[in-house]
Chain A
């Protein structure tokens, strides 16, 4: 049986289309607001939505997402509450939902409990940046890939050996970190970016979505030429903070760019 994420990519591929995957930090500025943003994402024809889980020490994130996490934590948002939010969202939408969380909140929650509760609430996938496949054997053993996809990351520094390992372990899609750096960094769409994507494609048939540093619609369009999906996070949060009334236009322009 295919997961909701796998079905989404299958359908897109059939029509020669690419996935638009917006990210938002859950609970910033409030869980109610997050709900509204998810509905807005859906209205703007996002294919998959990524929800950030706030953590005190987000070492893979740049300042924009760090500050969003701090605001969410100040609002008392926890992994438990984000799972409850998904359960609530599932009453109104069937859009695939992915949680991006660091590993310690999951460990504290209990890996077995997390896997069960997340799948039950309607979470389709989970991205844990500080859990490489080398350390994920126990986690994967507890996960049923038909109900919860564990998505692993690749980076510009990944060797062929690691590409094979990550590609084998990753379910739903492979998350390619477009820059050597943290979220919200400066994207450089040069020839080595192109080479990296084709190198990954050489080793796997699984969909590859690209994130970290994608901001302008023109960048998104170029990334979509090569990859199967485009993830935009920091730029959406920034737009939401600076000019909330223009978020919808921005999302629409991203959607138009990612075809």
Chain B
């Protein structure tokens, strides 16, 4: 848990313009209150079950395990949640909070489009106005999700500034929030930004870890040996890891986007290439130049294409609790295909980064060992892009 000011060790805090400070205090109070509010909890649990489709299954990936002939691999099937990714867990929690605070409108940033779709879905569910900010580059590579958001009644606003990806969408969402803060709640999509977002989003995603623990006990009668999750901002990873932090026998691995390779500079591996700084509301690790300007990033996966990482992650790295590594575009694409062939599951390119790490370590481990991979989303949204990369016209 962070301290009162939202710090995980030296990371976190609340670095925003004054205009937003009262809104963050209001949000923090509403969030703390919602934890004790029985009606709120009841409604959230009810929606998790009847609307999101929770609990999502924990699936033993038998043919992938046999193919790699090493540790036994389980997949936590967040791809089977409503809208196709874990993002909905947070979006539903936050739209309920927005309604509780009396806000009439929600806004969000999106990279891959999954959080935008989840927010648009949540807004439709409770009847709130919705506007989604998305970089021009991301709108092109995730055109399908843009159309989905519009179908769901959201306004999608293109962000043509800067690198035209996720970070620029966040800047624009923050500017909107600064202007419309009295009527609008900003549904940040990951464990990032000013306090209380990192803690709050983790809380709404912690259902992943809680379910996984129970399901693992009924499947194997014991805890897993490894947890693997991809890390963009890091919400699916924190959702899984948070429940297991005290189980010190478990090794946890966060997988960042290695892009075209660290040496090329075209990647989003904040630990491999970044340094300490403050960005978009919190102190954390980010990719920046010598003068403190934020660098452009590259990943085949729009959802991991972000210059900074949620503040709890560098804390867990410093503590030695989580190991962080990366998978390159090529490794993620290979994992994308392998999981499709061996299991009939097309993973999101983001999640394929986690699968790529499992592919690396499983063969080195005995068959007694268990790896749990968080399959954070499904890959339908990525099919067109992968075809394009392979030079196949659709």
Contact = CB atoms under 8 A, between A and B. Distances in A.
Contacts of B22: 157-159, 162
Given A56-B293, A104-B288, A180 B181 contact: yes
Q: A interface, how many residues as a size bin?
A: 35 or more
A132 interface: yes
A103 interface: yes
Interface stretch (A105-113, A193-201, A214-222, A240-248): A105-113
Contact of B17 (A56, A130, A159): A130
Nearest to A54: B293
Given A157-B23, A162-B21, A180 B179 contact: yes
Contacts of B5: 134
Interface string B13-27: 111111111110000
B288 A108 contact: yes
Contacts of B178: 59-60, 180-182
Contacts of B23: 157
A134 B181 CA distance: 20
Interface residues of B, number: 36
Contact of B179 (A80, A153, A182): A182
Contact of B182 (A59, A66, A180): A180
B18 A57 contact: no
Interface in B308-343: none
B181 A157 contact: yes
Interface centre among B23, B161, B279, by most A CB within 10 Å?
Answer: B279
B181 A132 contact: no
A167 B302 CA distance: 43
B11 to A, nearest CB: 13
Interface in A121-165: 129-132, 134-135, 152-159, 162
A55 B277 CA distance: 13
B75 interface: no
A153 B292 contact: no
B19 A73 contact: no
Given A57-B167, A134-B14, A155 B291 contact: no
A134 B194 CA distance: 12
B157 interface: no
Given A57-B279, A57-B280, A158-B22, A79 B292 contact: yes
12 contacts: A57-B162, A59-B171, A80-B291, A105-B291, A130-B15, A131-B15, A132-B17, A132-B18, A152-B18, A158-B18, A177-B19, A180-B180
Interface of A: 55-60, 62, 66, 73, 78-80, 103-109, 129-132, 134-135, 152-159, 162, 166, 177, 180-182, 185
For the complex of A and B, 9 pairs with smallest distance between CB atoms: A108-B292, A105-B292, A155-B19, A56-B293, A181-B179, A78-B291, A104-B292, A153-B18, A155-B18
